[in-house]
Structure 1
Amino acid sequence: MTAIRPSLWEPLRQFQRDSSPSALLSGLVAVVVGFAGPIVLIYAVAASAHLSDRTVLSWVWAATVLCGLVSIVLSLRTRVPVMSTWSTPGIAFLATALPGVPFPEAVGAFIISALLVLLLGSVAPLTRLIGRIPTHLAGALNAAILLPFGFHAVQAFGRLPLLVGAMILGYFVLRQVAPRWAVAGVLVIGLLGSAALGLLHPGSVTLALTQPQLVLPQFSWRGTLNLALPLTLLAFTGQYVPGFAALRVYGFTPAPGPVIRTTAAASLAAALVGCHNLTLAALLANIVGGPEAHPDPARRYVAAVYAGVFNILLGLFAGTFLHVMAILPPEALQALAGLALLGAISSSLQAGLSSAPGTLAAPLVLLVTLSGVSLLGIGSAFWGILVGLAMYGVESRANKERTPDLKVS
């Protein structure tokens, strides 16, 4: 029998050496935060398009299991906290675009969109352009994406001041005495507080494996124009651009091409069981890539690997975990997300507004993205970075014209 080369085991040995409790907890929190929000949108899509529970569970299975595998492979290979997730802007888009479209036709559009992303991920000028976004603009874009989660946590305090107040107080106390355990402590406080206040919604939870559902695709011009093209655009503007921007804030600069192509290839497999684009995580990159995962940036990739493992477990038992998530009140989940991202909000604002003082480009990115404006069916993150880049170009040119050439006499 042929022996396995030792080099194949080295990434796993290195992972074991780099592993830490804080990385494991960050991976768990990233999965909880990433699962809690979009799952509500998935059910909104299911209700509007009259999809069966089996179709929804298959959709969730593909998004979690395949994203988990991609996260593990890319993070171990690159030693960068690369986390994959489904396209959240894509889910929001499908809530209004999918009704009236036969689901096999939608699956055909999902496949075409994955092929388009794969093709565009092979175009070197496009991938280079994504990697050249200035750091302060990337920070401003990341801050604008994260700030609403902080707002939601404050709004949750207004609705449930006792529970959310205890979670906020616990977070700041733990930040002083045991910062690595602050977010985990908030989760425990949320569970205990919800139970004490009678806010838990326990129900019958059964442990059962989720069965993916193979869907034979149908291809049409209607699906291509109305679903595939917008989904492709949303994957880039809503996930890849802010996702790479978030990683840049923490000093991680993975080559965009391989990441885009790997997630696109996984999207092809996911489409066959009824799931739309799998992409690079943007919001969750701040949880697995930030200092809460580990003080040493070189060891933060471990958090993304753990997130991948938790995602796979979640997907294998998707129906069970959907019932578990329903136990906590939504205010507790909103508080958990906002507090888990508070450090990321701080670092992103600092990167965006302090690294290039006097510029208007970063504030414009922040304002336009936060506005939520949508033009031509394209979300505000794209327009925010576009306006910011335009202002950056104008300011750079003006600075060159104002600076006289220095000549040595």
Structure 2
Amino acid sequence: MYVSQYGQKIHRFFNLSHVTAGFIAVLVGYTSSAVIIFQAANATGASAEQISSWLWALGVGMAVTTIGLSLFYKTPILTAWSTPGAALLATSLDGVSINQAIGVFLFSSTLILVCGLTGWFEKLTRHIPSSIASAMLAGVLLQFGLNVFTGIAIDPLLVGGMLIGYLVLKRWVPLYTIPLVLLIGVAISLTQGSLKLDGIGLEMASPVWISPEFSLSAVIGIGIPLFVVTMASQNVPGIAVLRANGYQTRSSPLISTTGFMGVLMAPFGGFAFNLAAITAAICMGKEAGEDPKMRYMASVWAGLFYLLTGLFAATVATLFSVFPQALVFTIAGLALVGTIGNSLAIALNDASEREPALLTFLMTASGVSLMGIGSAFWGLLLGITAYALSSASRREYA
């Protein structure tokens, strides 16, 4: 009996759907924006050891917060570094010493921690209707779905083979479609010679302490914008993704945890931690497991892969760089097809909320960036405004 129960626990832990979803989430996150981290670090004149420390801090910080929050709340909670924040740093840190940059990271993460502890962020997100949140999620993920088909022109054999495999396998083995399609993509890439794994060796990363310096101009000119884009472009969509998938975990503890981790890891290069949106959606759909109550294990696996990426930062950066871009885009898009469809269904289900939801979707999908803040925030703001005006109009004529 005990052997049987132990075997069941092992089977649940090594569930292929959970493992694959976690791996794809980390693969997409690193291949899509790790290069921006290098650019930001280079802008401060960081040494190779310090850049490795940045990646160590980010990997370990994301691992601890992802695994801890997912296990505690039994919810697929995925954290990430702030990609728009990294882009901001890459263009703003020229002329700023690395010690002053650490001061900026500490200041921004402290503001995020305060936002979580005071609870104002949670009060704000409670007023987001599910139709608007779902529309924003669909808009954020649309480009990933489209990349599957635009990739056919770049590499028709690879993308076409993966797409055909998806259509066939979805009918016969729906639970294992995505991991098998990933294997098909890897096999085709190896055959083409576009995926070369030789010459990649294991190299451990080590944390390097960098003492902070606080420059008023850097704190105001870089620290506040870093805080704003992290909250608006990452944490707001991150909470919306949770809500759109039916998870009602309180947001304040999540935001507080990412802010606290940022304060701890800032001296080692952990510039900003936040809730993931796009990669989190990979761990929340049906492809991450049939049972919604067990999908948190997909995030736990993502956290374990984060830990490996942190401990072997230099190796991982090289490894992820050799994956063909078409393979990464295609597997991400196919893994998100179900989530995009469900989000659109929820967004457009209620006729009275359809127009605000559609405006949210279109604005978000446009990809436009205003004042350094991404389209997800502006789509959400537009949708909530349209929803409020529509609701007021209905009450007036009721």
Fold match (TM-score > 0.5): yes
1:249-294 deviation line (CA, Å, top 9, x unaligned)? 1110110110000111111122111121101111112111111112
Q: Pick the aligned partner of 1:262 from 257, 261, 264.
A: 257
Q: Would you say the 8 A contact 2:130–2:243 is kept in 1?
A: yes
1:159-188 deviation line (CA, Å, top 9, x unaligned)? 111111111111221111112221111221
For residues 261 and 286 of structure 2, the distance between their equivalents in structure 1, rounded to whole angstroms, comes to 29
- 1:406 is aligned to none
- 1:65 is aligned to 60
Summarize the Cα distance change of 1:14–1:389 in structure 2 as closer, same or farther, 3 Å threshold: farther
Q: Pick the aligned partner of 1:139 from 134, 137, 144.
A: 134
For residues 197 and 18 of structure 1, the distance between their equivalents in structure 2, rounded to whole angstroms, comes to 35
Unaligned runs of 5+ in 2: 1-5
- 2:3 is aligned to none
Moved more, 272-281 or 338-347: 338-347
Aligned runs of 1:1-400 on 2, under 5 Å?
Answer: 18-19=12-13, 20-356=15-351, 359-400=354-395
Summarize the Cα distance change of 1:202–1:299 in structure 2 as closer, same or farther, 3 Å threshold: closer
1:324-380 deviation line (CA, Å, top 9, x unaligned)? 223222111111221121221111121212244563211111122222333233222
How far apart are 1:46 and its partner, in Å?
4.1
How far apart are 1:317 and its partner, in Å?
0.9
How far apart are 1:205 and its partner, in Å?
1.1
For residues 357 and 21 of structure 1, the distance between their equivalents in structure 2, rounded to whole angstroms, comes to 41
How far apart are 1:134 and its partner, in Å?
0.5
Summarize the Cα distance change of 1:356–1:99 in structure 2 as closer, same or farther, 3 Å threshold: farther
TM-score (norm 2): 0.93
Summarize the Cα distance change of 1:113–1:251 in structure 2 as closer, same or farther, 3 Å threshold: same
For residues 250 and 302 of structure 2, the distance between their equivalents in structure 1, rounded to whole angstroms, comes to 21
Q: Would you say the 8 A contact 2:207–2:268 is kept in 1?
A: yes
Q: Would you say the 8 A contact 2:135–2:343 is kept in 1?
A: yes
Q: Which amino acid aligns with 1:272?
A: P
Q: Would you say the 8 A contact 1:213–1:273 is kept in 2?
A: yes
How far apart are 1:50 and its partner, in Å?
4.3
Q: Which amino acid aligns with 2:147?
A: H
Q: Would you say the 8 A contact 2:147–2:333 is kept in 1?
A: yes
For residues 223 and 122 of structure 1, the distance between their equivalents in structure 2, rounded to whole angstroms, comes to 25
In structure 1, the residue corresponding to 2:209 is in which secondary structure? coil
How far apart are 1:302 and its partner, in Å?
1.1
For residues 34 and 245 of structure 1, the distance between their equivalents in structure 2, rounded to whole angstroms, comes to 19
Tell me the C-alpha RMSD between the 2 structures: 2.0
Q: Would you say the 8 A contact 1:15–1:76 is kept in 2?
A: no
Q: Would you say the 8 A contact 2:49–2:208 is kept in 1?
A: yes
Q: Would you say the 8 A contact 1:128–1:256 is kept in 2?
A: no
The structure that is helix-richer by fraction is: 2
Unaligned runs of 5+ in 1: 1-11, 404-409
How far apart are 1:319 and its partner, in Å?
1.3
For residues 327 and 116 of structure 1, the distance between their equivalents in structure 2, rounded to whole angstroms, comes to 37
TM-score (norm 1): 0.91
How far apart are 1:94 and its partner, in Å?
1.5
For residues 353 and 65 of structure 2, the distance between their equivalents in structure 1, rounded to whole angstroms, comes to 40
